Structure 1
Amino acid sequence: MQATHDDLTAELCGRTVLVTGGGGLIGSRIAAHLREVGARPVSLCRLDAYPLSAYRLLFGVDEDDADFAVGDVTDAKLVRRLVADCDYVIHAAALADVAACTRHPMNAITTNVIGTQTVLDAVAACERVRRFCYVSSASVYGNGNRDERPACAETRSMRQLLEAVYGHMPPCFGESAVLQPLSVYANTKLWGEFQTALHLAQVGTSYAIVRYFSVYGDPQTVKRGSHSWVVAWFAARAALGLPLHLNGGGHQVRDLIHVDDVAAGTVRALVAPRAHNETVNLGTGHATTIRQVAEQVQQHYPRTQFMETPMPPGDPQGGYAAIGRMRHLLDWQPAITVEEGIARYTAWLQRTPQAIPDWLRQTAPA
């Protein structure tokens, strides 16, 4: 059930779409996907998470492009001007690093709460906008509710298989689950979900909320002091001959979804009729432990060693996505397996060794 360019083009061809956070990994890939289906993406981004050269090299950003605005989502005048000329809005801008949000909660509140409200105000005031898509996160589920775990396994044999592989039944997160955020970042994303529904329902503007699971894929690169982006971290460390840190033993479960798939799913949520005023997971429906990710990376770097390290604050045990609702609402599902995605990433890193930051290189053995 893959969305084709034809059915997307029918609505998006010739339309203008604002993508906040359009200079980052996900935002730039969403913008590229929009161009493929005939839309005109307009991007807004601060371009301050990486050196400017990295944005150009890794994400193909041209800050001099007339359709690229360098600025902040808290700048109400700028946001109103950009939204006024758009048919659709995808709000992907966020301080998305869990560790950074924990260290600097006021920064998280400024970008993820005040910034979101600024965008919502502009959208609510613009009659031209056909739908607003809010990018949320599976982190709103926290560690899940044990009583809800068996519901997502389709058969008894599947439940038995999961228990045999993981030693327990990993949480399967459905959109109607009790939400139990465990971090500052998750709190801000949950606020954005409720505020989107509250604010836009008052003016009758269509919206869709997408909950991203663990997004990975080239050209994702690591940030100092972060424990997010496990595939990028493990591949970069393995390439340098550094051990892979398994926080808490690496037993946390993630649903890894490739950035190409998450971009396609987000664009699909922007136009799918059944996604009107709905919340939908964007995941694969497959559970992968952090240790399994390390083992997959080790296949491409056979000399890689593992090191068990303490669990950082705000790092959930995690789970995987229930995707029945996604299939129904979007008439779509991801196509890239974890094995394929990790192979793509390690191949890209071998072709692009300069993507490994100097500060990480300095920690490598001589």
Structure 2
Amino acid sequence: MAEPYSDRRLGALAGASVLVTGGGGLVGSRIVAQLAAHGAHPVVLDRFDAYPHPVRDLFEVDRYAARVVLGDVRERATVKWLTDRVDFVIHAAAYADVAACTRRPGTAFAANVHGTQTVLDAVAASAVERLVFVSSASVYGDGAPSEDGIARFDEEQPLTPISVYANTKLWGEHQVRLMLSASGVGFAIVRYFSVYGDPQVPKPGSHSWMVPWMAMSAHTGQPIRLNGGGRQVRDMVHVDDIAHATILALVEERAAGQTINIGTGVATTVREIADLIAAHYPDAACVQAPKPAGDPRGGCADTRRASDLLGWHPAIPLVEGIDRYVAWLKGTPGAIPDWFAAPTTAAAAALAA
């Protein structure tokens, strides 16, 4: 883990108990590590079924969490027992793969709608000081491009989700406001843009998390896939910066009741990201592939609210973040899944779907 971000406001978390649902994943585990670095007592609730064991070990949840609970956010008794014993909640648990949600909308509903409702029911009846709900820039959909052809998303513009995953996140935002405003429990909503950073590992049949997909493809001698020709635009935010912003939303008074973009404000095409990775692998080649269903044209965040309310600015530029990821990958070749190193016909077909 990187050194903890220096911020005196986070001293308010010293000794506090913080429930992190989904704390066993990439973002959740980094939030847990940063909470621990600032003296908080993170409590993790996770099913631990999103990744195989060798990948889960990379997240080091047991190292930083004060308590780890194997469970589901839909389990009312478990969620209530935990929320009755913590000061804050970060609700990051979700079926968070766009392609998987498109294939299995019922599973997406169960995890992202039913699960969120269960958490909100428990929090609304508890003494929790504040809940931070993790949402996604996918709620914006394609948006409208500006004069330079790039969509810039601000928190007050109309929302037009184009995927099942985005639709569940938008529902979650509305439900957080409805339930917690009425209950008196504090809340903040953070909309993540494109998260990347080690030890991110891709999942079979998914097009999410392009940095590991591209880096591992180049590393194993496979072509880098440019879905949609690589013309889509992304606002890439390092996972360390994402975790820092999320924790700030727990304690910053000006964030109460607010929805805040967590992005860099820098628009980068998928092709440009591929070129940054290919610079580390002289023999890397790119191939074009169809744009997956539900994959937005993309854009970048309007970051004024994150700056004004959280005093947050990303600390890790994309070039540095990709350099870090590639260095980590070259130093940890065992992180590449077996199915990726030797893709089967079925896996290749799933990727093309």
Shorter-normalised TM-score: what interval? over 0.9
Q: Is 1:260 the counterpart of 2:262 in the alignment?
A: no
Gaps of 5+ in 1: 151-162, 164-168
Listed as ranges, the matches of 1:1-366 within 5 Å are: 4-9=6-11, 11-56=12-57, 58-62=58-62, 67-127=67-127, 129-146=128-145, 149=146, 163=148, 169-363=149-343
Shift of 1:318: 0.5
Distance 2:6 2:64 in 1: 32
Shift of 1:51: 1.5
Could you tell me whether the CA contact under 8 Å between 1:253 and 1:290 is conserved in 2?
Answer: yes
Distance 1:64 1:317 in 2: 37
- What amino acid sits opposite 2:161 in the alignment? P
Shift of 1:302: 1.3
Q: Deviations over 1:34-67 (max 9, x none)?
A: 01111110001000011223212x1013399760
Q: Deviations over 1:60-100 (max 9, x none)?
A: 13399760001100001000001110000000000100000
Q: Deviations over 1:188-232 (max 9, x none)?
A: 000000000001011111100000000000000010000000001
Shift of 1:3: 6.8
Change (3 A) 1:253 1:305: same
Shift of 1:248: 1.2
Question: TM-score normalised to the size of structure 1?
Answer: 0.91
Could you tell me whether the CA contact under 8 Å between 2:141 and 2:161 is conserved in 1?
Answer: yes
Could you tell me whether the CA contact under 8 Å between 1:300 and 1:346 is conserved in 2?
Answer: yes
Distance 1:361 1:3 in 2: 35
Change (3 A) 1:212 1:55: same
Shift of 1:331: 1.0
Shift of 1:291: 0.2
Could you tell me whether the CA contact under 8 Å between 1:3 and 1:332 is conserved in 2?
Answer: no
Shift of 1:324: 0.5
Q: Deviations over 1:159-187 (max 9, x none)?
A: xxxx3xxxxx2100000111010000000
Shift of 1:363: 3.1
Distance 2:66 2:251 in 1: 25
Could you tell me whether the CA contact under 8 Å between 1:327 and 1:333 is conserved in 2?
Answer: yes
Shift of 1:7: 2.0
- What amino acid sits opposite 2:137 in the alignment? A
Which position in structure 1 is the counterpart of 2:350?
none
Could you tell me whether the CA contact under 8 Å between 1:29 and 1:260 is conserved in 2?
Answer: yes
Gaps of 5+ in 2: 345-353
Could you tell me whether the CA contact under 8 Å between 2:225 and 2:288 is conserved in 1?
Answer: yes
Change (3 A) 1:337 1:66: closer
**Matched position secondary structure for 2:229:** coil
**Matched position secondary structure for 2:292:** coil
Which position in structure 2 is the counterpart of 1:159?
none
Q: Matched residue pairs, number? A: 341
Question: TM-score normalised to the size of structure 2?
Answer: 0.94
Distance 2:273 2:63 in 1: 35
Distance 2:287 2:56 in 1: 32
Which position in structure 1 is the counterpart of 2:351?
none
Distance 2:66 2:151 in 1: 45
Taking only the aligned residue pairs, the percentage that are identical comes to: 55
**Matched position secondary structure for 2:132:** strand
Could you tell me whether the CA contact under 8 Å between 1:253 and 1:318 is conserved in 2?
Answer: yes
Distance 1:74 1:356 in 2: 32
- What amino acid sits opposite 1:229 in the alignment? W
Could you tell me whether the CA contact under 8 Å between 2:226 and 2:289 is conserved in 1?
Answer: yes
Distance 1:222 1:319 in 2: 22
Shift of 1:111: 0.3
Distance 1:111 1:248 in 2: 29
